Amino acid sequence: MEDMENWLAKANVLIEALPYIQRFHGKTIVVKYGGSAMVDHDLKKNVIRDVALLKLVGFRPIIVHGGGKEITKWMKKVDIESEFYKGLRITDKPSMEIVEMVLNKINKGLVSMMEKVGVRAVGISGKDGSVLKVDKKLVGDKDIGNVGEIKEVNTELLNTLLDNDFVPVICPIGSDDGFYSYNINADDAACAIAAAVGAAKLAFLTDVEGVYADPLDKSTLISELSVKEAEELLGSGNIGGGMLPKIHNCVDAIKSGVSRVHILDGRIEHCLLLEFFTNRGIGTAIIGDEEERYYEKNV
């Protein structure tokens, strides 16, 4: 009987997932992969398995990844000091070479992991097929080097890969009109790509559980926020640190046509599956003001 109860529990999990699979089958989703989930080997394997499962049940995933911790480590190895200004890495020419080398190394590693679990993947940078066209990012009077601000996303290559059953794995390097390389904030790249491909979902893997009404009270985790509620929360002064630009990015993505944006704790095993396929989810979903709150009712 104990075995039967375990089997029935597994069956109930699949049944709970069914309406979400039906709703988002054939839809494009973008996963911004970063934080501890990129560093811890077991977490990395779980994220790749989650994406593989999403692909195999009919989603069309795109992975956009960063690599800040790894870049800092390699810059230290070659005696280049990491400098930041307002949260952005100052990227001179020697730094840009390290950034591009490290991000491409991470990129191909993720592709190999996808292939090992039976999903075809192609690793590209935003320079390939001119996917990410940028202008030099200006931060007041401060020159922060080869840091790019996205002005255009060319979706032709991405759509070709998706239509031919590949998972695009993208590192956030873009090029300007002179085809010079620029480092791009990975959150910005994920938002721009999600908006350009009309993604149904954009998920940020982070090192926090989600968005709190009161950051000092862990019991105030918010499961869902409308754009209006998110903007009110931003104006309340309760949001700070790295969460502030992330929520701004989420709101901008929704306003650009992305249906739902999820902020997830990438340190939790199988966080993508738990958020996408269960009735309550585990992180915070930000939705359009007119979107149905599907964690409060059946789909």
Question: What pLDDT shows up at residue 296?
Answer: 43
Residue 30 to residues 25, 65, 76, 110, 227, Cα–Cα distance (Å): 14, 10, 31, 15, 19
**How far is it, in rounded angstroms, from Cα 222 to Cα 233?**
11
Inter-residue contact 169 to 124 (CB < 8 Å): yes
If residue 28 lies in a helix (H) or strand (E), which one and from where to where?
A: strand 28-33
Please tell me which residue, 121 or 294, carries the higher pLDDT value: 121
Q: List the one residue out of 148, 209, 156 whose CA is nearest residue 176.
A: 148
Question: What pLDDT shows up at residue 291?
Answer: 57
Question: What pLDDT shows up at residue 293?
Answer: 53
Average pLDDT score over the chain: 88
pLDDT in tens, 283-296: 888 988 665 555 44
Q: Tell me what the mean pLDDT of segment 117-126 comes to.
A: 96
pLDDT in tens, 83-97: 888 778 899 999 999
Q: Which residues contact 149 (CB under 8 A, 6 or more apart)?
A: 134, 135, 136, 137, 138, 184, 188
Question: What pLDDT shows up at residue 281?
Answer: 67
pLDDT in tens, 187-246: 999 999 999 999 999 999 988 888 888 877 888 888 888 898 888 888 887 777 778 888
Inter-residue contact 64 to 106 (CB < 8 Å): no
Please tell me which residue, 35 or 232, carries the higher pLDDT value: 232
The listed range with the strongest mean pLDDT (17-26, 133-142, 150-159) is 150-159
**How far is it, in rounded angstroms, from Cα 162 to Cα 196?**
14
Question: What pLDDT shows up at residue 105?
Answer: 95
If residue 71 lies in a helix (H) or strand (E), which one and from where to where?
A: helix 68-77
Q: Is 108 helix (H, G, I), strand (E, B) or coil?
A: helix
Question: What pLDDT shows up at residue 110?
Answer: 94
Judged against a pLDDT cut of 70, whether residue 282 lies above it is answered with: yes
Q: Which residues contact 143 (CB under 8 A, 6 or more apart)?
A: none
Find residue 168's DSSP bridge partners. 122
Judged against a pLDDT cut of 90, whether residue 42 lies above it is answered with: no
